[in-house]
Structure 1
Amino acid sequence: MARLRNGTVGRRFTMLYAMVFLLSGIGLIALIYLLSRSDMIRSVPGQAPPGEPATGVAQHVRDLERQLAEVHAQQSRQLLFGSLIAIVVMAAVSLLLGRILAGHVLRPLRLITAATRRISADNLDQRLAVAGPADEVKELADTVDGLLARLEASFAAQRRFVANASHELRTPLTTIRASLDVAVAKPQPAAQTVALAGRVRTELDRVDRLLEGFLVLARAQHGVLPDRVPVSLAELAGEALAARAGAIAGKNLTVEAELASKAWTRGSPALLSRLVQNVIDNAIVHNQEGGWIRLATQDGAGAGDAGTGDAGSGDGGSGDAPWARLVVETGGNVLDQDQVDRLTQPFERLGTDRTGSQESSGLGLSIVAAIVSAHGGSLDLRVRAEGGLKVTAAMPPADPSRPDGPHGGTA
């Protein structure tokens, strides 16, 4: 038994199934023995020698022998029938026992599969850490653990590179901006110099926004949010709308805001503010002239079917769960859902108008998706049948009266 426990998986299967069928064979032999233990030595019915008349006693003996032969034949048929029944029964029992034993042997593989499914990009620090004998199962688990370690290191290196590169690039940009200021500040600068400086400043502003987006995206993807506090999505939405009143008026947009519910959630105020700003900016920048924006915050059941997207890690929009939601709808042309689903990836844009936009870096909705995921929520981008887009960010709810932890959600 010790060798059975410490052997390889193939050896375990071989030995276990061999033992099962061996026990089945022993049981079958024992059953046949029990059925045949009462048999007597078969005798062939006697015949009178040629020319010798049959006497009454001899005829009677032959009749008895014939009857005995018939009994033996009937017993043989019964033994054959019993053996067939025994084979069928033992085959069924062997299959049942084999399945039970195979399930017991393969149970570690099922545990490894379930644990691997629970591990995602947000918790690559988890390991399977399977204990047991050094067999194929443990070798597989150790290989998966090694793969997770390499993936974790790769993700961390990527995030560090984005953050470090963004920081390092700010230094030459600051130098370029200072040089422009010096050139323009000279007495009576040339008109071409002033015009060139203006164009360069515009491009520098775009690069600054792009670098800031990289920093926010790296921080959100890293998932480290030490400053978690209760935050009102309604207050953030109101502040973002007030700050963008000029842009809204410039495109003659109609805004319908339903911010009756404060929709409290728990997280980083800076990142959540950026989330709300990006969603509203997306609705303004990629809206048509004279269009409309409908914005609402929700914190209870009956919020409809919002939040069933695949950009987040939670089920914030499933059913009628009382999750905090920010819902922003816009009108416009009819969009393709497959293309919209890709907007949560960096530098993905929709249509030629978005590709050529001077105000879009292609990071807005990818930053939103990363922030929502870092806070344990879900993001849904859904095209409207009448045209336009509906964006729903569903976040775990929080009780503002409890600064030490959320109410009904996960921190």
Structure 2
Amino acid sequence: MRTPRRLAMRARTVRWRFTALYGAMFLMSGVGLLVINNLVGLWGTQSSHAVSPGAAQVQPATFEAAMELNRLLQAELSQVRAAQSRQLLAGSIVALAVMAVVSVALGRIVAARVLRPLRTITAATRRISADDLHTRLAVAGPADEVKDLADTIDGLLERLEASFTAQRRFVANASHELRTPLTTMRASLDVAMAKPEPVPAQTAALADRLRAELDRVDRLLEGFLLLARSRHGASSDGTAFSLGHAVSAALDARAADVSDKGLTVHDDTVDDHAWTRGNPTLLARMIDNVIDNAVKHNHDGGWIRCATRAEDQRALLVVETGGPVLDQGQVALLAQPFQRLSADRTGSDNGSGLGLSIVAAVAEAHGGGLDLRARPEGGLRVAVSLPLTSAQAGVPA
């Protein structure tokens, strides 16, 4: 059943506005024709009864008889006119009702025909995404307002494609170029520390700190490269990938970190139906980032709950962690690059702020999405939704 809200939204569409406009125009035309028809009919009736044919044939004997005959003829003429008026009114009402239905139908047909090019442009524009900006509408036809709109959209897509391409190229080139001096700095530091002379304690401490900072910058560059690659358009046509297997592998790889922080892990990824399809390297890195976020930004003695399931043609991964109550407005920003919560809220000040933004980019590149929620009891809920596929479609991850 259609709700009043849906009907109200539908009534505000351009097609229905055009239908009402054209229908009203057709209906007013019909009303005008009926009014003219009624006026002509009444005038014709009056003209036809201006002279009664019976009066010319009957020759009254006296004046009183003539007056009585005239009265009778006038009464008969009034009855005839009243009957004709009722018939004309009834016919007009029926014609008006039919004209109203015909006007709405004609208005809808005309509106649909007028809006057909716009619907074609809308459908084509929806098929064009950030990963398919090279496609153009290329609407053929006369140089009218619709073609001008399509050409304007094509120009906008061309500028967007150039902008996205330049941005991705800059990020990739800058990340590659910056890795060369980082490698040189790390090699020089290792050579300096490997000299046979005793190294002062302060120098050794400084070297360890520099190595840590270099590793942090290296991870940041790696995140840049992965973010650029995921946004470059990882096709969802790839290898079948099991979310449950990947989560179990990620937890096993981080067993030492989990043990060091005394975390309790609830692994509910026994559902083997949560499969998707795509680039296995990017999908594995996406899940690694989710698990890393749950482990690193967790308090000592905390807990982690992981679950995968298939629901409504979607493969879902849900990772929950405990902790203090978080602000939903700040949590919603974590999917953007370089957005982090403060250390007193997360239990850690490490990280580049790219982890969850990479998760969001990889999920979107595979036709999915990332949902971040602050749990009312405290902590964070991370949910990744991806298109569901069959486990028999490929090899497990």
- TM-score, structure 1 length as denominator? 0.74
Q: 1:283·1:328 contact (CA, 8 Å) conserved in 2?
A: yes
Match of 1:100 in 2: 109
Query: Does 2:212 align with 1:168?
Result: no
Letter paired with 1:350: L
Distance 1:111 1:291 in 2: 54
State the Cα deviation string for residues 158-187 of structure 1 (Å, max 9, x = none).
222211111111112112222222332344
Determine helix, strand or coil for the equivalent of 2:277.
Answer: strand
Query: Does 2:348 align with 1:337?
Result: no
1:207 to 217, 221, 230: 217
Q: 1:42·1:69 contact (CA, 8 Å) conserved in 2?
A: no
Larger deviation, residues 19-28 vs 218-227: 19-28
Determine helix, strand or coil for the equivalent of 1:265.
Answer: strand
Match of 1:366 in 2: 357
Distance 2:314 2:22 in 1: 54
Give the direction of change, closer, same or farther, for the CA distance of 1:71–1:213 in structure 2 (3 Å limit). Answer: same
Match of 2:247 in 1: 237
Distance 2:40 2:94 in 1: 12
- How far did residue 276 of structure 1 move? 1.5
Determine helix, strand or coil for the equivalent of 2:218.
Answer: helix
Match of 1:291 in 2: 302
Match of 1:223 in 2: 233
- How far did residue 219 of structure 1 move? 0.9
Match of 2:380 in 1: 389
Give the direction of change, closer, same or farther, for the CA distance of 1:290–1:330 in structure 2 (3 Å limit). Answer: same
Give the direction of change, closer, same or farther, for the CA distance of 1:154–1:328 in structure 2 (3 Å limit). Answer: same
Query: Does 2:167 align with 1:158?
Result: yes
Q: 1:259·1:297 contact (CA, 8 Å) conserved in 2?
A: yes
- How far did residue 356 of structure 1 move? 9.3
Determine helix, strand or coil for the equivalent of 2:323.
Answer: coil
Larger helix fraction of residues:
2
Distance 2:27 2:145 in 1: 23
The percentage of aligned residue pairs carrying the same residue is 55
Distance 2:386 2:259 in 1: 30
1:136 to 145, 148, 153: 145
2:371 to 358, 370, 380: 380
Determine helix, strand or coil for the equivalent of 1:348.
Answer: coil
Letter paired with 2:184: T
Letter paired with 1:253: L
- How far did residue 17 of structure 1 move? 9.4
Letter paired with 1:291: G
Distance 1:240 1:210 in 2: 20
Q: 2:38·2:88 contact (CA, 8 Å) conserved in 1?
A: no
- How far did residue 37 of structure 1 move? 4.8
Distance 1:94 1:237 in 2: 62
Q: 2:331·2:373 contact (CA, 8 Å) conserved in 1?
A: yes
- How far did residue 106 of structure 1 move? 2.4
Give 5+ residue unaligned stretches, structure 1: 1-13, 45-53, 301-319, 406-411
Query: Does 2:359 align with 1:348?
Result: no
Larger deviation, residues 173-182 vs 94-103: 94-103
Query: Does 2:50 align with 1:42?
Result: yes
Distance 1:178 1:65 in 2: 125
Match of 2:13 in 1: none
Number of residue-to-residue matches in the alignment? 365
Give 5+ residue unaligned stretches, structure 2: 1-20, 53-61
Distance 2:70 2:235 in 1: 103
State the Cα deviation string for residues 273-310 of structure 1 (Å, max 9, x = none).
21121111101111111111122333x4xxxxxxxxxx
- TM-score, structure 2 length as denominator? 0.76
